[in-house]
């Protein structure tokens, strides 16, 4: 398998799609040996087929603000691969959203969803709509207009969207309300729903909880635990909140959170009502963490990222490419032994290289943040059965799924010297299932 040739062809076909090409390269470099050991994959051009989305849907989203002024945003849904189940993946509302970012996220989702062991294909969508500073009614009108078009392309057995950056419980409510109005159906077409209208317990916490469960498994493999460990977290959104909650519950001390304005260093630990305060910060739609320093008297480091703080464990939970090679060097120099990604692709390729060379434990998002989509899968199961599991039941299944993903990474990623390359392990384990399904199903996509 000639990775450079495939990457050159892809770069020509998708000019300027930097994030998408970054995500594809990482996967291809990991799977070379299994593709070469399985000539049937090359004969069926599985790799060339898996890097091409089944379908890219791009549409106009017109909406009126509270003053009656009309705005036009761009909406997307990338239906990447449905070999193992209906398309599944979140919706992101953020001004930085473009085709490259959603294609990278949709591509990652194929392998992540495969790792969960649940029947879900890969997809992603969203809009360049900026929720910052928008009123509730503006967000509602935008969501309704977005769904007016999206509803043609989704369905409980076709494509099941969920939340991501800028899309939480409120937005899922407005989207689902419009879907129901248009289709006259109460189906599980979205996940992350509210508890009163088909949602699952633990889904809001699931990505952060899953990430901490994964970190716990990594530490356990070295005879250690989270108890007494100092942890840095980036972001202050849904994933960061869940991760802070679970890490604290398991006896760790979380000392940082961050926003686009800088990071908070709270040496006393971010616990109890301070974690709940993160929800107020997000709900304010202001997108800054600085107010935490007034509220609780902690240090605020303007314009900086939290990776300069001395910690044992780091959980990047904000966004892509937020941890550079230099940041990785600082973490390693300060004695950090375990990095588990809560966000999607937060570490740059240079950072990953530093982690691997230093032989510290590093888990890529597609493995360590899979708890969110896995619990979405559990929400779909409950919707199909028309019953609700208890939070203990959902949490137990989530933990089991994360333990199994960790085991799959160890199985496929252990190198000769015993070091576990979780990137390689996750990519191979995720790829094998999808590739074999594509072989079984014929050359349909």
In the complex, the residues that contact ligand NDP under the rule CB under 6 A are: 94, 96, 163-166, 207, 235-239, 259-260, 282, 287, 317-319, 342-344, 369, 372
The encoded tokens of residue 93 equal 């509302």
> Nearer Cβ to ligand 2IT, position 170 or 329?
170
- As given in the structure block, the two tokens for residue 445 are 């996509």
Closer to ligand NDP by Cβ: residue 100 or 238: 238
Name the minimum Å distance from CB 181 to ligand NDP. Answer: 25
Q: Give the residue nearest to ligand NDP (CB).
A: 237
Q: Which is nearer to ligand NDP, 104 or 412 (CB)?
A: 104
CB of 139 to ligand 2IT, least distance (A): 18
Q: Name residues whose C-beta falls within 8 Å of residue 13's C-beta, 6 or more positions apart in sequence.
A: none
Say how many C-beta atoms besides its own lie within 10 A of residue 353's C-beta: 13
Q: Return the structure tokens found at 305.
A: 């990222």
Give me the catalytic one of 112, 124, 193, 229: 124
The CA distance from 316 to 298, in Å, is 20
Rounded Cα distance between 138 and 67, Å, is 10
**Nearest-angstrom CA–CA distance, 79 and 154:** 10
73 binds, among ligand NDP, ligand 2IT, none (CB under 5 to 8 A by kind): none
Which residue, 105 or 314, is less far from ligand 2IT as judged by CB? 105
Assess contact for 89 and 60: CB atoms under 8 A.
no
CB 81 within 8 A of CB 445: yes
CB of 418 to ligand NDP, least distance (A): 29
Angle at Cα 374 formed by Cα 373 and Cα 379, nearest 5°? 90
> Which of ligand NDP, ligand 2IT, none does residue 245 bind to, with CB < 5 to 8 Å depending on kind?
none
With a CB cutoff of 8 Å and minimum separation 6, the contacts of 219 are 225, 226, 229, 313, 337, 338, 361
CA dist 101 and 319 (Å) reads 11
Whose Cβ is closer to ligand NDP: residue 6's or residue 169's? 169
CA gap 264, 301 in Å, rounded? 6
Residue position matching structure tokens 């399985």? 38
Helix or strand (DSSP H, E) at 212: helix 203-220
CA 297, 299, 302, 306 torsion: positive or negative?
negative
**At its nearest, how many Å lie between ligand NDP and the CB of residue 239?**
4
366 is annotated as an active-site residue: no
Q: In terms of DSSP bridges, do strands 262-265 and 159-162 run parallel, antiparallel, or are they unpaired?
A: unpaired
Q: Give the residue with the Cβ less far from ligand 2IT, 144 or 320.
A: 320
Give the integer Cα–Cα distance in Å for 142 and 70.
11
Q: Which is nearer to ligand NDP, 35 or 81 (CB)?
A: 81
With CB cut-offs between 5 and 8 Å by kind, which of ligand NDP, ligand 2IT, none does residue 88 bind? Answer: ligand 2IT
Cβ of residue 239: shortest distance to ligand 2IT, in angstroms? Answer: 9
Written as six digits, the tokens of 428 are 């191979």
Return the SS3 of 119.
coil
Taking CB within 5 to 8 Å according to partner kind, which of ligand 2IT, ligand NDP, none is near residue 237?
ligand NDP
Distance from C-alpha of 78 to C-alpha of 307, rounded to nearest angstrom: 33
Shortest Å, Cβ 145 to ligand NDP: 20
For ligand NDP, the closer of residues 239 and 337 by Cβ is 239
Which residues of the chain form contacts with ligand 2IT (CB under 6 A)? Answer: 88-90, 112, 162, 164, 191, 344, 372-373, 376
CA-nearest of 192, 161, 109 to 366 is: 109
Give the count of beta carbons closer than 10 Å to the beta carbon of residue 296: 14
Interaction partner, residue 166 (ligand 2IT, ligand NDP, none; CB < 5-8 Å by kind): ligand NDP
CB of 259 to ligand NDP, least distance (A): 5
- Rounded to a whole number of angstroms, the minimum distance from the CB of residue 214 to ligand 2IT is 13
Q: Active-site residues: which are they?
A: 124
């Amino acid at each position: 398998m000639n990775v450079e040739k495939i990457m050159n062809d892809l770069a020509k076909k998708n000019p300027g799609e930097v994030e998408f090409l970054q995500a594809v390269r990482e996967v291809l470099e990991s799977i070379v040996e299994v593709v070469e050991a399985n000539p049937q994959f090359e004969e069926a051009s599985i790799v060339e087929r898996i890097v091409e989305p089944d379908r890219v849907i791009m549409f106009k989203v017109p909406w009126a603000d509270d003053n009656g002024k009309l705005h036009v945003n761009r909406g997307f849904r990338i239906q990447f691969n449905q070999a193992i189940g209906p398309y599944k993946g979140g919706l992101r509302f953020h001004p930085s959203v473009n085709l490259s970012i959603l294609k990278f996220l949709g591509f990652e989702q194929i392998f992540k969803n495969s790792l969960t062991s649940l029947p879900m294909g890969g997809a992603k969508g969203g809009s360049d709509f900026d929720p910052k500073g928008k009123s509730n009614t503006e967000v509602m009108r935008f969501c309704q207009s977005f769904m007016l078009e999206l509803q043609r392309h989704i369905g409980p057995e076709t494509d099941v969207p969920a939340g991501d950056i800028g899309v939480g419980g409120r937005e899922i409510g407005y989207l689902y309300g419009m879907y129901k109005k248009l289709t006259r159906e109460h189906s599980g077409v979205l996940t992350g729903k509210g508890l009163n209208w088909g949602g699952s317990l633990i889904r809001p916490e699931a990505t952060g909880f899953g990430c901490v469960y994964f970190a716990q498994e990594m530490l356990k493999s070295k005879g250690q635990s989270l108890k007494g460990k100092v942890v840095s977290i980036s972001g202050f959104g849904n994933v960061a909140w869940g991760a802070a909650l679970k890490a604290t519950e398991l006896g760790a001390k979380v000392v940082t959170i961050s926003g686009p304005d800088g990071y908070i260093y709270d040496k006393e630990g971010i616990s109890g009502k301070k974690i709940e305060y993160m929800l107020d910060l997000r709900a304010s739609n202001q997108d800054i963490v600085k107010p935490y320093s007034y509220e609780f008297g902690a240090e605020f480091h303007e314009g900086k990222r939290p990776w300069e703080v001395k910690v044992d464990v780091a959980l990047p939970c904000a966004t892509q490419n937020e941890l550079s090679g230099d940041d990785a060097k600082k973490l390693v120099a300060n004695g950090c032994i375990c990095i588990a990604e809560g966000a999607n692709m937060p570490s740059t390729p240079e950072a990953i290289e530093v982690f691997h060379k230093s032989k510290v434990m590093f888990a890529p998002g597609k493995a360590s943040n899979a708890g969110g989509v896995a619990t979405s899968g559990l929400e779909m199961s409950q919707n199909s059965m028309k019953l609700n599991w208890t939070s203990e039941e959902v949490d137990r299944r989530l933990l089991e799924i994360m333990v199994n993903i960790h085991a799959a990474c160890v199985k496929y990623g252990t190198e000769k010297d015993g070091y576990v390359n979780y990137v390689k392990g996750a990519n191979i384990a995720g790829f094998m299932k999808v590739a074999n399904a594509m072989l079984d199903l014929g050359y349909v996509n």
